[in-house]
Amino acid sequence: MRKILILPTSYLILKNMEVLKIATAGSVDDGKSTLIGRILYDTKSLTSDKLEAIEKTSKQKGYDYLDFSLATDGLVAEREQGITIDVAHIYFSTQTKSYIIADTPGHVEYTRNMVTGASTSQAAIILIDARKGVIEQTNRHFFINNLLRVKEVIVAINKMDLVHFSEDIYNKIKADFETLMQKRDYQDQNITFIPVSALKGDNVVHKSRNTPWYKGQTLLEHFELLDTEDVYNVGTPRFPVQYVIRPKTEEFHDFRGYAGKVYGGELSVGDEVVALPSQTKSKIKEIYLYDQSYQTASRRSSVTITLEDDINVSRGDMLVKVDDLPTIDKQFTATISWMDSQNLVTGNKYVLQHGVNKVLAKVDAIHHKIHPDYSGIEEHISALGMNDIASVTFKLNKSIFFDPFKNHRTNGSFILIDSQSNNTVGVGFIQ
């Protein structure tokens, strides 16, 4: 096998390699679907057959404009009712990046969908209807993106065409939002305000002539200039072992590799590591991706690691640097977002999936519910229902190795699985 020092240059020149995942947030009818459709249209990402379909359906519905929301609303029920039911993922690319935008629906299971969308995104667009300004819903959208530590937030003040592109209205909404920002927990979040009209296309991809008072970038310009490395929250390296690779062939008779993805930081050949939970020490011998070996595995790369010593490591175990241990405990308190129609009550047991590791968890105590609109907390709670956010203590049957969510977005989060229905019923952020 060839030894080289860094990833091969082909990685550096590959086009469409920078990927930016963006979630949208806004109340029903604020214009999320229209905004995404507009971006697709103005970046010429809509192919002629899709555009024709939109023109045809818009005409059938008797509109005198193109209904861009038709580009994203994919299910039959969605088109019939003119609403978005489930998260849709929309793809387009420019010369600098590939974009994935999650169009999140704005009603019943809203919190659940928004938490889901935000969990896989590094950026979010919060839409505000310029006629309505900052409303209770806006608090919620901001709260969730802050809770999930989405690094980059764009506040798109939409439907500016309906308020005569008024600078005063824009400034008033911006000031209201800035008041809200003071309440946030995650202060490192970058927040940018842009006045737009999704329907007419102002400041979405092209600069608007209707807002001479606005000197900032358009929505797309802003994303184009973002460095996709900077949109990730950096932590310390954590390597949860997904799968043990034992070829048992003549050529690789004694090969024992640990397959997984590197989170938070980098790992290099020669690093002294500890395997958890056994706490056995060793050193990284080799790092592979396919048939090439590397000196360093960068953040978020899927690699295979071999160790100097023959120690016992299996799926669910974790490799970390010796001087950099996570918390190892059978009990913790987390902020959870409940996503199931069956209530969570004290004493309930769930399967807790932390990365690729599964343990059993019992609800030890529900401390309080957190109103996601910054209106405070509610104590003496006995049960949590769909869309509730609360502070909960869990007891586990086995220790897990975690970091607080604020230090490590991956190693500080988990999902809860109902062992009766097998459904994913909640997500947690360890405090």
Partner 1 sequence: MTKDTSRVNPLENEAIYIIREVAAQFEKPVLLFSGGKDSITLVRLAQKAFYPAKIPFPLMHIDTGHNFPETIAFRDRLVKELGLELIVRNVQDSIDEGKVKEESGRYSSRNSLQTTTLLDAIEEFKFDACIGGARRDEEKARAKERIFSVRDDFGQWDEKNQRPELFDMLNGQIHLGQNVRVFPISNWTELDVWSYIERENIEIPSIYFAHTRATFLRDGLIWSSDDEVVYRDENEVVEERLVRFRTVGDMSCTAAVLSDAADIASVVQEIRESTISERGARIDDKRSEAAMEKRKQQGYF
Ligand X SMILES: Nc1nc2c(ncn2[C@@H]2O[C@H](COP(=O)(O)OP(=O)(O)O)[C@@H](O)[C@H]2O)c(=O)[nH]1
Site for Mg ion in 304-333 (CB under 5 A): none
Residue 90 vs 416, nearer CB to Mg ion = 90
Which segments of 188-232 are extended strands (E)?
190-195
In the bound complex, what is the minimum distance in angstroms from residue 163's beta carbon to ligand X? 10
Number of residues in contact with Mg ion, rule: CB under 5 A?
3
Distances (CA, A) of 385 to 108, 181, 290: 13, 27, 45
26 binds, among partner 1, Mg ion, ligand X, none (CB under 5 to 8 A by kind): ligand X
29 binds, among Mg ion, ligand X, partner 1, none (CB under 5 to 8 A by kind): ligand X
**Structure-block tokens of residue 310:** 């023959």
In the bound complex, what is the minimum distance in angstroms from residue 129's beta carbon to ligand X? 8
**Structure-block tokens of residue 429:** 């952020």
**Structure-block tokens of residue 280:** 């056995």
Residue keyed to tokens 């919190």 = 111
Residue 197 vs 391, nearer CB to ligand X = 197
Angle between helices 110-119 and 136-147 (to 10 degrees): 40
Contact region for ligand X (CB under 6 A) — 197-205, 256-264, 335-343, 379-387?
197-205
From the number of C-beta atoms within 10 Å of its C-beta (0-12, 13-18, 19+), residue 77 rates as exposed
Residue 195 vs 265, nearer CB to partner 1 = 265
In the bound complex, what is the minimum distance in angstroms from residue 244's beta carbon to Mg ion? 44
Q: Which secondary-structure segment (H or E) carries 300?
A: none
> Applying CB under 5 A, does 84 fall inside the site for Mg ion?
yes
In three-state secondary structure terms, 355 is coil
> Applying CB under 6 A, does 69 fall inside the site for ligand X?
yes
> Applying CB under 6 A, does 197 fall inside the site for ligand X?
yes
Q: Which of 33, 208, 293, 357 binds Mg ion (CB under 5 A)?
A: 33
| Residues β-bridged to residue 303 | 260
Q: What is the C-alpha to C-alpha distance for residues 233 and 394, in angstroms, rounded to an integer? A: 26
Residue 31 vs 257, nearer CB to ligand X = 31
Q: Which of 30, 271, 388, 403 binds ligand X (CB under 6 A)?
A: 30
Residue 266 vs 329, nearer CB to partner 1 = 266
122 binds, among ligand X, partner 1, Mg ion, none (CB under 5 to 8 A by kind): none
CB distance 345 to 364 below 8 Å:
no
**Structure-block tokens of residue 222:** 């802003």
247 preceded by a cis bond (ω within 30 of 0): no
Residue keyed to tokens 């900077």 = 230
Binding site for ligand X (CB under 6 A): 26, 28-34, 69, 84, 106, 158-159, 161-162, 197-199
